[in-house]
Amino acid sequence: MRKHVIIVAGGSGSRMKQALPKQFIEILGKPIMVHTIEAFLAYDPSIHIVLVLPEAHLPTWTELKAKYLSSQDVSIAFGGATRFQSVKSGLNQVDNGLVAIHDAVRPMISKEVIRSSFELAEAKGSGVVMVPLKDSIREKGDGGTVARDRSLYYAVQTPQTFRVELIKQAFAQEESPLFTDDASVYEASGKQVEVVSGDYRNIKITTPEDLILAEALLKK
């Protein structure tokens, strides 16, 4: 089945305390999003890449592509006000097969995890990367907090991979505030979310501290 990846690059630099959007910040001489794209090309050089970004960021991307990925075909979709709208825009660029949806600021994704997500999606319709929680958790309530069994919970990462026709059906429904990721959209359409064992190194770079950790991991 043909493989696609939608890389969602709609972030700002607010939590990073920089004017430059976080996906364009450099680590080891390359912007974060370039590392991310290269991770998927390392898994499959023929994968169809769809980059979703704000229209205002197109000139910056054009310069980066010419510098780092000049020979690579990349389809462009413009993002919306929410992740739901941005991913739906990206899905308009794919036709059939399997599609992974991935955060542009998760550059430490491994070939093994990408492969597992595609294989499970092909077999069962979805393959969503998750890791067991390591910290104790408490649920907030009106009167305080209550301890919960962390063994019953996962932290959800990306990629979140699906058969194209099934995820397109899911994104045909009305947007809801409960849609925090692509798996929640898929689940709300009545389909089963299948778990792919993830990697704790597959962090989402959001804060200045994350940059330090990401650089150390990428050096390895």
Give pLDDT tens digits along the chain (220 positions): 999 999 999 755 445 555 678 999 999 999 999 999 999 999 999 999 999 999 999 999 999 999 999 999 999 999 999 999 999 999 999 999 999 999 999 999 999 999 999 999 999 999 999 999 999 999 998 889 999 999 999 999 999 999 999 999 999 999 999 999 999 999 999 999 999 999 999 999 999 999 999 999 998 8
Cβ-proximal residues to 111 (8 Å cutoff; 6+ apart), any chain? 39, 42, 43
Tally of domains in the chain: 1
Q: Which domain holds residue 170?
A: 3-219
Under 8 Å between Cβ of 203 and 106: yes
Task: Report which of 48, 41, 39 is spatially closest to residue 73, judged by C-alpha positions.
Answer: 48
pTM of the model: 0.94
Q: Is 157 left (phi over 0), alpha (psi -120 to 50) or beta?
A: beta
Residue 128 maps to which CATH number?
3.90.550.10
Ramachandran angles phi, psi of 139, nearest 5°: -95, 130
Inter-CA distances, 103 with 39, 142, 190, Å: 12, 34, 24
DSSP code for 20: S
